[in-house]
């Protein structure tokens, strides 16, 4: 089995969906977290070697961000309870976790979202991960 290394900020953020998916899949991975003040040194070679490459990188990143924002609108789809948990379920769980940290009454009146959250958290591999992951605001 291949070895994976996830390098991301020491927060949940966008890296958390990847962590959740790898955990649910039973895929071992190295969770390489770094602090925000380390980012300038890490990213110095990511942005392109000249102005044109930097422009191209920025265009692609902007397009990916646009796609991500559109995809978020499609995550909540009707689901048969017998279906397996999907990446969409993990993404919804992650977003709700962040929002619930700021407003613990957010899911009042939304029983389907609470069922989704409880279903995801009940997965044995995931519940073990959630119990031991580092705390973060994002």
Q: How confident is the chain (138 residues) per 10-residue block, as mean pLDDT?
A: 89 91 92 94 82 90 80 56 74 85 84 85 88 82
Please report where in the chains the tokens 């919804």 appear, as a residue.
92
Distance (Å, rounded) from C-alpha 62 to C-alpha 68?
A: 10
pLDDT at 134: 84
pLDDT at 74: 60
Query: Where along the chain do its domains lie?
Result: 4-132
CATH class of 4-132: mainly alpha
What are the Cα distances from residue 135, in Å, to 27, 52, 122?
Answer: 22, 39, 19
pLDDT at 27: 92
Please report where in the chains the tokens 């279903």 appear, as a residue.
119
Question: What is the DSSP annotation of 69-115?
Answer: HHHHHHS-----TTSPP-HHHHHHHHHHHHHHHH-TTTTTT-HHHHH
- What pTM did the predictor assign? 0.51
């Amino acid at each position: 089995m291949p070895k994976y290394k996830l390098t991301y900020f020491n927060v949940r953020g966008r890296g958390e969906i990847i962590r959740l998916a790898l955990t649910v899949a039973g895929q071992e991975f190295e969770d390489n977290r770094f602090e925000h003040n380390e980012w300038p040194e890490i990213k110095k070679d990511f942005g392109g070697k000249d102005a044109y490459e930097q422009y191209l990188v920025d265009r692609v990143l902007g397009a990916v961000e646009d796609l991500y924002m559109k995809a978020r609108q499609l995550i909540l789809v009707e689901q048969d309870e017998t279906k397996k948990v999907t990446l969409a379920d993990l993404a919804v769980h992650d977003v709700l976790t962040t929002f619930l940290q700021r407003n613990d009454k957010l899911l009042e009146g939304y029983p389907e979202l609470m069922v989704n959250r409880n279903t995801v958290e009940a997965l044995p591999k995931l519940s073990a991960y959630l119990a031991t992951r580092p705390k973060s605001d994002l």
